[in-house]
Amino acid sequence: MILRHTLPPALRRVASSPPSPLTYRPSPRSRPWFCCCRARMLSTLPRLPIFEAVAGHDPAATAVVHSVSGRSFTYGQLLADVSRARDRRREARGGADLDGERIAFLVENSYDYVVTLLAAIAARSIAVPLSPAFPAPELQYILNHSEASLLVSSFKFTPRADEVLATELTSKPAHLELAKHVGGQEKEAVALEDTDPAGAGLMLYTSGTTNRPKGVLLPQSALTAQCRSLVEAWKYTPSDHLLHVLPLHHIHGTVNALLAPLFAGSSIEFMFPFNADTVWKRLATPFLATNGTTTNGITATQPKVTFFTVVPTVYSRLLASHKSLPAELQEAARQAISPANLRVNISGSAALPTPIKAAWQTLSRGNVLLERYGMTEVGMALSCGLDFADRVDASVGWPLPSVQARLMDVDTGEVIPPGQDVDGAGRERSGEIQLRGPTIFKEYWRNPDATAKEFIADLDGHGPWFKTGDIAIRRPVPSAGHSAVQPWARGPLYFIQGRRTADIIKTGGEKVSALEVERELLSLPEVAEAAVVAVPSGNWGQKVGAVIILDTDVVHKWSPLDMRRALKSRLANYKIPQVMKVVDHIPRNAMGKINKKLLVRAIFSDAFSGDER
Ligand code: AMP
């Protein structure tokens, strides 16, 4: 059956004319999506949900835009290019079946990245995106560890690929160099074939703090479940235009900002690496009288951005740079991010400080950031809702559709029953977030011990739970959870306390959440950035330590005593940092995260009390 409604007008004639001997005749198990080249052999793609979704979108609709060059690619081109690219991957391996093989790639954020990722999945292989920012030894480690049989590099990153291929590689991958601008050349008929998805998937490497990075294997079934869950919760649509400024070797950039919008038929505009002024200019352009410049008789008008999902540091940098924009741009930028225009603005991957949320709301004249929680192993797990009343301050909301979540008291091993989130003494009970459902990863690659360690069995017959290592409390918020159209957003909300190993500070028998203390510190006018860490102490077990960057518009000197005075009315005494250091810079990774284990060693080694055990 030809899906006529998806055909461009010129092709509808071909589809409706009687079949000639050269016209493709579909078998019941193999349905072409569109057909324009009668004599050409029909390309195929496996009938996986991602390709069914892409084939169902308007082929003339924009899928991907390169912000700087303005080049854009349609869903029609995407499907044909993925099929061709998949064939080329097979040729590069001498026509071998790539089922379950690892295809690593070094490709910049672009249409070529999207084609390369999907081509690996189409080959029923495991896509292994590499960050061009990684040093050669790290790339070497990933290639060896994943036992990649093919390394694909874009024209731009072929020298990086050559550099890593010159190192000692146990896996000896074949190398496929992509030419410049290969995609989007011509359309071609593509049929979806019923095949077993077999080994198709994505492998992302976690940033290891003490150990080497682990390969997190997300089968295509988990990716599909993650995307469906997000599309249901955040309602991506074909009229959404998403501005993509995140790295693409991380779950946030890959699933939330790429695969989920492709599932929904939205447009994705790449603008990487992130630069606050450039992003403001892009956001503002549709609201300037000058939008729509004419070159060679063609007028390019930039569409407004409706969907933006980034990390808290991106919002923080945007807020800081807005003040220095020219006045006209400032106003257009405010319009661009207002609730009427920027439909969804999401923050995640690290805790969202309240002052950033509040400042964004003021600047945008009412847009409320939606916070969510997730990790590489599970995709997105918890999220606030689309109603503004459901974007509750400091909370990451409720379990997303298809995700099951529970809290386990890590001291007693008891699962905290829903509704019993407060103990006999009136204290909120914190526990580790544990998750299960179709969105969860399959395993750490070739590391059964690590995989076994992170799962905990359940006798209820519905499978084991993944232990996230993150601690949370649940709290009912009477004003939230009433949306008629988001039934998953109901009941008590989750509030993240931090990572069990780095953010839960045990001091003098009390437990302190580093995130809670950071939140209060950041609410003080004197503090621009803050990281709260556990400083080892023999007397206290651990001391609460604060690393601070001052807001020099407000203050130039600030002592530990000033800090204690400022926090006195905000925090219980035992939560107030006992040691504090003011610094000029706090190192963060590409996702804005702080490695607290390294930070405490770098900053507080002289504050260790000497009585540590
Ligand atoms: P990654 O696997 O690199 O995405 O890191 C996942 C970790 O980021 C989680 O285990 C949490 O510790 C942290 N994280 C993600 N989202 C949030 C959030 N909204 N608030 C606090 N921490 C978060």
Stronger pLDDT, 156 or 606, i.e. the higher one: 156
- Answer whether 310 contacts ligand 1 (Cβ < 6 A): no
Pair 336, 284: CB distance under 8 Å: yes
For residue 373, report the distance from its CA to the centre of ligand 1, in Å: 6
Cα distances (angstroms) measured from residue 77 to each of 33, 82, 83, 259, 404: 12, 9, 10, 17, 38
Residue 541, Cβ neighbours under 10 Å: how many? 16
Structure tokens at 166: 């010159």
Structure tokens at 285: 């352009």
Mean pLDDT of the 570-591 span: 94
Q: Alpha helix (H) ranges present in 57-155? A: 75-92, 111-122, 136-146
pLDDT in tens, 526-566: 999 999 999 998 888 899 999 999 999 999 999 999 999 99
Residue owning the nearest CA to atom 1 of ligand 1: 375
Residue owning the nearest CA to atom 9 of ligand 1: 375
Pair 89, 115: CB distance under 8 Å: no
N-term to C-term CA, the chain: 72
What is the percentage of the chain residues whose pLDDT exceeds 70? Answer: 90
- Answer whether 396 contacts ligand 1 (Cβ < 6 A): yes
Range 1-26+79-199 has CATH code 3.20.20: no
Residue 466 bridge partners (DSSP):
435, 455
Residue owning the nearest CA to atom 21 of ligand 1: 351
- Answer whether 268 contacts ligand 1 (Cβ < 6 A): no
For residue 591, report the distance from its CA to the centre of ligand 1, in Å: 10
pLDDT attached to residue 607: 67
pLDDT attached to residue 609: 58
Q: Which fold has domain 511-613?
A: GMP Synthetase; Chain A, domain 3 (3.30.300)
CA separation for the pair 442, 451 (Å, rounded): 9
Evaluate if residue 425 carries a pLDDT over 80.
Answer: yes
CA separation for the pair 132, 130 (Å, rounded): 6
User: Structural domain boundaries of the chain?
Assistant: 1-26+79-199, 511-613
pLDDT in tens, 156-201: 999 999 999 999 999 899 999 999 877 776 667 899 999 899 899 9
Which atom of ligand 1 is found nearest the CA of 347? 19
For residue 350, report the distance from its CA to the centre of ligand 1, in Å: 5
Mean pLDDT of the 362-376 span: 98
Residue owning the nearest CA to atom 7 of ligand 1: 375
CA separation for the pair 203, 215 (Å, rounded): 6
Q: Is 286 left (phi over 0), alpha (psi -120 to 50) or beta?
A: alpha
- Whose tokens are 């109901």? That residue is 490
- Answer whether 348 contacts ligand 1 (Cβ < 6 A): yes
Evaluate if residue 3 carries a pLDDT over 60.
Answer: no
For residue 499, report the distance from its CA to the centre of ligand 1, in Å: 8
Cα distances (angstroms) measured from residue 593 to each of 183, 437, 480: 35, 27, 29
CA separation for the pair 364, 357 (Å, rounded): 11
pLDDT attached to residue 207: 73
Cis peptide before 525 (omega within 30 of 0): no
Evaluate if residue 83 carries a pLDDT over 60.
Answer: yes
For residue 401, report the distance from its CA to the centre of ligand 1, in Å: 19
Average pLDDT, the chain: 90
Which DSSP string corresponds to 492-532?
Answer: SEEEEEEETTTTEEEETTEEEEHHHHHHHHHTSTTEEEEEE
Residue 16, Cβ neighbours under 10 Å: how many? 10
Which atom of ligand 1 is found nearest the CA of 348? 19
For residue 421, report the distance from its CA to the centre of ligand 1, in Å: 22
Mutate to test the pocket of ligand 1, among 246, 309, 349 (most ligand atoms within 8 A of CB): 349
Name, in order, each residue with C-beta under 8 angstroms of 503's C-beta and a sequence gap of 6 or more. Answer: 471, 497, 513, 514, 515, 532, 596
Structure tokens at 155: 């024209």
**Strands 379-383, 398-399: pairing kind:** antiparallel
Radius of gyration of the CA atoms of the chain, in A: 26
